[in-house]
Amino acid sequence: MGTDEVKNRIRRLRFDLGEMTQEELARRVGCTRQTIIALEQGKYLPSVALAFRIARTFGVKVEDVFQYENDK
Amino acid sequence: MTPQQRRAWYGLAIGIVWTLSIVALFVIKGATAFDKDTGMRVTAYALFLAGILAYVAMMYVTGWKMARDGAIQDERDRLILRRVPVYQMFAVILTLAVWMVVLTETYSDEGQIPIVFPNLIFFSAIVVNIVFASAGTLIAYWRAR
């Protein structure tokens, strides 16, 4: 089965989008700043809906924000 | 710190003061005074109710402030808060187990326990349940770091 891992580029995309703050991103996608911090640190996997909202905020596809990796 | 964590800290503070007040009353007056001293019994019930009222008032005021400030409880918060009843249940079961062991070991020769203890068991179960609504929230957020 292998080990599932989901990485994300939220921090990178925030800086690409005019150094958007975590607070601003949180406000735009409707979550708390603590959730953005947990996402960036890879400690929390978002729901599909939140993943789409984050991608849309950055104007990219979900796969451009989140990358699924499996070591098998 | 999320608004839920802040609320949990307030709840824990109330819970600690509440617990210490009840414990202090029983330590000062003695547990058996509960049976004989009507004033002590009334004070104990009053303290018990005051704690519940203080906790409910705190939940109401913080809830009102959170709504006023537009504080968000997002999906991660909800996921974390779903674990809190598990901590509450564990704490209450542990409390009941401690009561069972202590009372059995203390009063096994007599074959009966003083009538004060059903009250104390009930008080403690409710107090622990409420305190662990807050403590459990803080533990759940701490574990989700």
Q: For chain B (length 145 residues), average pLDDT per consecutive 10?
A: 88 94 89 83 92 94 88 87 94 96 93 87 93 93 85
CA-based nearest residue in chain B for residue A45: B76
pLDDT of residue A72: 63
pLDDT at A46: 92
| Neighbouring residues of A51: CB distance < 8 A, sequence distance ≥ 6 | A62, A65, A66
Task: Say which CATH number the domain at A49 has.
Answer: 1.10.260
The answer as to whether A69 is a domain residue is no
Task: Specify the pLDDT at position B71.
Answer: 75
Contact residues on chain B for A46, CB-CB shorter than 8 A: 75
ipTM of the complex: 0.81
Which among B77, B76, B59, B75 is positioned nearest to B67, based on CA atoms? B59
DSSP chain B: --HHHHHHHHHHHHHHHHHHHHHHHHHHH-TTHHHH-HHHHHHHHHHHHHHHHHHHHHHHHHHHHHHHTT----HHHHHHHTTHHHHHHHHHHHHHHHHHHHHHHHHTTTTS--THHHHHHHHHHHHHHHHHHHHHHHHHHHHT-
Question: CB–CB of A31 and B74 under 8 A?
Answer: yes
Taking the model in full, what pTM does it have? 0.79
Do B145 and A43 lie within an 8 Å CB cutoff?
yes
Neighbours of A62 (CB within 10 A): 13
Contacts of B105 (CB under 8 A, 6+ apart): none
Q: Does the CB of B144 have a partner CB in chain A at under 8 Å?
A: yes
CA B74 to chain A, closest CA, distance in angstroms equals 5
Find the CB nearest A44 among B2, B72, B76.
Answer: B76
Domain for residue A29, yes or no? Answer: yes
CA angle B9, A40, A54 (to 5 degrees): 100
Whether A37 is covered by a domain: the verdict is yes
CA A14 vs CA A38, A50, A71: distances in Å: 15, 16, 28
Q: A-side interface with B, Cβ within 8 Å?
A: 30-32, 34-35, 38, 43-44, 46-47, 50
Interface touch B75/A34, C-beta < 8 Å: no
Residue A32 is nearest to which of B2, B144, B145, comparing CB atoms? B2
Provide the residue range defining the domain that includes A54: 8-59
**Overall number of domains in chain A:** 1
Q: For position A71, what pLDDT does the model report?
A: 67
Q: Which residues of chain A have pLDDT under 70?
A: 1, 71-72
